[in-house]
Amino acid sequence: MTRWPEGVGREILAEIDSTNAEALRRGRAGRPDPAWILSRNQTAGRGRRGRVWQQDPGNFAASLFMLVEGGPTAAAQRSFVAALALFDALVAVTGRPELFALKWPNDVLLTGGKLAGILLESEMAPRGGVALAVGIGVNLRSAPEARALGPGATRPVSLGESLGGAPTPEEFLDLLAPAFAHWDARLRGEGFAPLRAAWLARAARIGEPIVARLPGRELSGLFETIDADGALVLAAAEGRITLPAADVFFLPV
């Protein structure tokens, strides 16, 4: 096992409503120390924009609670920390970096299918700063049925079904937590630039056409890059458009 990060808690629960909800409850209680919260079952797991996150037995659902200084942008950049940490943990499990890619803003792909998702939720902490929940779900053993997802969604896949085996959630957490600590230390010490470069080197579909959906409108164009803060840069017919948030859909290839 890679060494567990110093000063970070580790809680393993049989069941809870939502690991993100529990992380935010820690923040409201004024608890300052970071902690990973893993649950073997969630009764009210959630994804982006209020979607339900289905957790089948043996799959991974955990959240990191942490206090963040620097405001909303610094908090949002922890999504890139989480994505890079997931990539590293998955490579540590499989030894196959060529199988994985990162999809803006919050997914990890395995051979083009959605393997993992990231959900950030935050509140102002009682004593200042941002109380941040970094929620992570990984289809270790099985994947939900594609018909349970919205139209145009990336097909779900699992590590076990695709590669013939997967670690336990606890084993995966022991790889993920040190990887997150590594990338978070780089963000705090060096700024976002090295994470941006690392993320782009692992990104899916750069230079290819995508559809970006926002409330009330839809934009099409080429996925050009991400900017210095992590926003999507779309080369559209009307020019370059920077999108801090959107749902991205790939076109068939």
Residues 153 and 229 in one domain: no
Look at the block and give the residue holding tokens 């909800």: 21
Residue 119 sits in the same domain as residue 17? yes
Domain identity same for 240 and 192: no
Taking 90 as the threshold, does the pLDDT of residue 54 lie above it? Answer: no
Same domain, yes or no, for 158 and 245? no
Do 170 and 48 belong to one domain? yes
Q: What is the DSSP letter of 99?
A: G
Say if residues 203 and 238 touch (Cβ distance below 8 Å).
no
Note whether 82 and 134 are within 8 A (CB): yes
Q: Is residue 29 part of a domain?
A: yes
Per-residue pLDDT, 50: 54
- The reply to whether 197 falls in a domain is yes
Q: What is the mean pLDDT of the chain?
A: 92
Strand 35-39, strand 60-68: pairing: antiparallel
More confidently predicted of 49 and 118: 118
Tokens describing residue 127: 């004593």
DSSP SS3 for 46? strand
Is the confidence at residue 142, as pLDDT, over 60? Answer: yes
| 214 inside domain | yes
Residues 127 and 218 in one domain: no
Q: What are the strands, taking DSSP E only, across the chain?
A: 9-13, 35-39, 60-68, 100-103, 107-110, 113-124, 130-138, 209-214, 217-226, 232-236, 239-243, 247-250
Residue-range definition of the domain harbouring residue 175: 9-201
Q: What distance, in Å, lies between the first and last C-alpha atoms of the chain?
A: 39
The answer to whether residue 112 is domain-embedded is yes
Q: How far is CA 146 from the centre of its chain?
A: 20
- Under the banding of pLDDT at 50, 70 and 90, the label for residue 148 is low
Same domain? For 232 and 160 the reply is no
Let me know whether 104 and 137 are in one domain: yes
pLDDT given for residue 45 in this prediction: 73
**DSSP E strands: which ranges in 22-105?**
35-39, 60-68, 100-103
Quote the pLDDT of residue 56.
81
Closest CA to 87 of 106, 104, 108, 105: 108
Same domain, 239 and 153: no
17-26 tens-digit pLDDT: 999 999 999 9
Tell me whether residue 2 is in a domain: no
Shared domain check, 96 and 21: yes
| pTM of this prediction exceeds 0.85 | yes
Is 1 within a domain? no
188 and 217 part of one domain: no
Residue 51 lies in a domain: yes
Residue 53: HSE in the Cβ half-sphere, 13 Å Cα cutoff: 29
CA dist 19 and 39 (Å) reads 7
> CATH number for the domain including 226?
2.30.30.100
Mean per-residue pLDDT, 78-86: 98
Whichever domain contains 177, its CATH number is 3.30.930.10
- What total of structural domains would you count in the chain? 2
